[in-house]
Amino acid sequence: MGITKTESYTTQTLHLADLFKALGHPARIAILQYISNQTSCICGDIVTELPLSQASISRHLQELKAVGLIKGEISGTSVCYCINPIVLPILIDFINQIHSPSNQTCCS
C-alpha cells in the first residue's frame, strides 16, 4: 500500500484504521456475513460458499482473526470460526463520534 507514516498517528487511530482495513474487502465482508448467518459456528465450508481458493479464504480468515474480528477454534481437522463481538463497539463508537451533531449545521 505504499509508504504509510505509521509513526505519525496515535495508536488508537492506527487501531481503528487496521480494523476498518480488515473490513475493506468484499471477500471479508462476505465471510463475516456468512458466519453471522449460521446459528452454529460453521467452519471451512466458507470455501465452498465463496468463489475463492482455499488458500485465499484462509488468508482472509487470518486477517480477520489478526485484528480480532473473528476467533477460531480447532475441532479435529477442521477449524470453527465465529464472530468475536468485543471489538465491534470500538467501530460503533468511532462512527458515532464522527456523527456528532456539531457537523450537521455546516455544508448546508
Alpha-carbon torsion (45, 71, 65, 14), positive or negative: positive
Q: Toward DNA, which CB reaches closer, 4 or 96?
A: 4
Of 34-53, binders to its own copies (CB under 8 A) are 35-36, 38-41, 50-52
Phi (first) and psi of residue 73, to 5 degrees: -125, 125
Output the nine-digit C-alpha cell for 66: 489478526
Q: What H or E segment, with its residue span, contains residue 96?
A: helix 88-98
Strands (E), 28-98: 70-75, 78-83
Q: How far is the CB of 83 from DNA (least distance, A)?
A: 15
Q: Which of its own copies, DNA, none is residue 11 near (CB under 5 to 8 Å by kind)?
A: none
Stretch that binds DNA, among 30-38, 73-81, 89-97, 100-108 (CB under 7 A): 73-81
Among 19, 31, 32, 60, binds DNA (CB under 7 A): 60
Q: Is 58 a binder of DNA (CB under 7 A)?
A: yes
Name the grid cell of 33: 456475513
Residue type, position 80, single letter:
C
Q: Which residues bind DNA (CB under 7 A)?
A: 1-5, 21, 24-25, 27, 43-44, 47, 51-56, 58-63, 72, 74, 76-79
